[in-house]
């Protein structure tokens, strides 16, 4: 279904805008998942707004949680004259590694990852999510009254693991007495189990929760229901439960997409790895008013500490 939409867009694109920079992106979940895929979609929209629809076009296949489907989409696009193809999900690395050498004139980017496979037509990008994790940890430890904080993680890899590790360090650095209970549910999509994990954290006494990836919507529901505080990451999750979401670490991929686009235009198709950080503005801490002045102040301090290098969440 989506492939059809993509092809139609492509035809129209070829007919109307010969000179526009063309990007295609494959994502594991929906463009409005309040998390990983949404962050990329929003970034591309922002770039399009800035460059103008005549100069920048993008197509996407979202909800492509089956890796084989993603591989097929990547291969299709590669043969169709796109300037840059983004494989937004670390699970797409293996197929990309096979496909990229077949299309040496096409530029690919994939993340979150730090490895370009040594290929000069592949860019890698990742998020230093431990930084926002650290800040969220600081806020959580400041706000928790019970001294117990719950974390609902997906699978113990990639930026989710970075986030959770940073979060733990931020929380215990703020209050060594605080207890951070971590749970990985083994899936990016199992909303039911994420919900039960949040319930379990609550039963175990947690009064502040956080979690990473798109399956946390159910966990946020639990927090809302039980009146617990929530800290978001990847995208802003405030709108789902404004009364209990106190802060979000928001990914802004434009910071790295812009230089990649410039490089591709200039003829350099890959070979570099990028990271979004608090410092380069790719990570943005959105702190809501319900966090209160104390937590806000502590968070600001942590942010500047990370930017000036005096705090390194996971060490150097």
Kindly state whether residue 4 participates in binding other proteins, applying the rule CB under 8 A.
Answer: no
Closest CA to 92 of 71, 108, 121, 119: 71
CB atoms within 10 A of CB 55: 13
Among 48, 80, 199, 263, binds other proteins (CB under 8 A): 199
Kindly state whether residue 186 participates in binding other proteins, applying the rule CB under 8 A.
Answer: yes
Q: Considering only 90-98, 152-160, 275-283, 289-297, which stretch makes contact with other proteins by CB under 8 A? A: 152-160
Tokens of 164: 């959770």
Q: Considering only 68-76, 95-103, 131-139, 215-223, which stretch makes contact with other proteins by CB under 8 A? A: 215-223
Among 83, 196, 272, 286, binds other proteins (CB under 8 A): 196
Size of the site for other proteins (CB under 8 A): 43
| Residue 91 C-beta: closest distance to other proteins, Å | 15
Kindly state whether residue 200 participates in binding other proteins, applying the rule CB under 8 A.
Answer: yes
Q: Where are the alpha helices (DSSP H) in the chain?
A: 2-16, 36-51, 67-78, 93-99, 129-143, 158-174, 191-203, 217-226, 254-265, 292-308
State the Cα angle at 113 between 179 and 51, rounded to 5°.
Answer: 110
Using the Cα atoms of residue 160, residue 223, residue 187 and residue 25 in order, give the sign of their dihedral: negative
Kindly state whether residue 177 participates in binding other proteins, applying the rule CB under 8 A.
Answer: no
Beta bridge partners of 245: 230
Tokens of 261: 């686009």
Among 22, 88, 168, 201, binds other proteins (CB under 8 A): 201
Kindly state whether residue 183 participates in binding other proteins, applying the rule CB under 8 A.
Answer: yes
Three-state DSSP class for residue 40: helix
Binding region for other proteins (CB under 8 A): 1, 29-30, 32-34, 63, 65, 150, 153, 155-156, 181-187, 189-193, 195-197, 199-201, 203-204, 214-215, 217-218, 220-221, 224-225, 239-241
């Amino acid at each position: 279904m989506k492939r059809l939409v993509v092809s139609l867009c492509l035809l129209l694109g070829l007919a109307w805008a010969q000179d526009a920079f063309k990007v295609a992106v494959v994502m594991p979940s929906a463009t409005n998942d309040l998390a990983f895929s949404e962050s990329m979609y929003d970034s591309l929209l922002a770039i399009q707004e800035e460059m103008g629809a005549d100069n920048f076009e993008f197509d996407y296949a979202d909800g492509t949680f089956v890796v084989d489907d993603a591989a097929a989409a990547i291969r299709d696009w590669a043969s169709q004259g796109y300037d840059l193809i983004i494989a937004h999900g670390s699970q797409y690395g293996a197929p990309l590694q096979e496909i990229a050498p077949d299309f040496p004139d096409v530029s690919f980017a994939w993340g979150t990852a730090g490895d370009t496979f040594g290929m000069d037509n592949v860019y890698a990008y990742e998020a230093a999510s431990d930084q926002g994790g650290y800040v969220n940890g600081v806020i959580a430890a400041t706000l928790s009254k019970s001294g117990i904080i719950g974390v609902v993680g997906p699978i113990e890899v990639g930026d989710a693991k970075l986030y959770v590790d940073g979060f733990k360090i931020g929380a215990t650095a703020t209050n060594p007495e605080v207890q951070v209970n971590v749970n990985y549910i083994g899936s990016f999509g199992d909303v039911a189990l994420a919900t039960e994990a949040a319930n379990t954290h609550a039963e175990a006494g947690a009064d502040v929760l956080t979690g990473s990836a798109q399956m946390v919507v159910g966990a946020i529901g639990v927090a809302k229901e039980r009146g617990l505080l929530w800290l978001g990451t990847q995208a802003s999750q405030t709108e789902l439960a404004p009364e209990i979401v106190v802060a979000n670490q928001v990914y802004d991929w434009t910071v790295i997409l812009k230089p990649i686009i410039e490089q591709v235009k200039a003829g350099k198709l890959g070979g570099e790895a990028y990271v979004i950080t608090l410092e380069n503005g790719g990570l943005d801490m959105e702190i809501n008013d319900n966090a209160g002045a104390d937590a806000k102040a502590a968070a600001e301090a942590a942010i500047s500490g990370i930017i000036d290098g005096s705090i390194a969440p996971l060490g150097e």
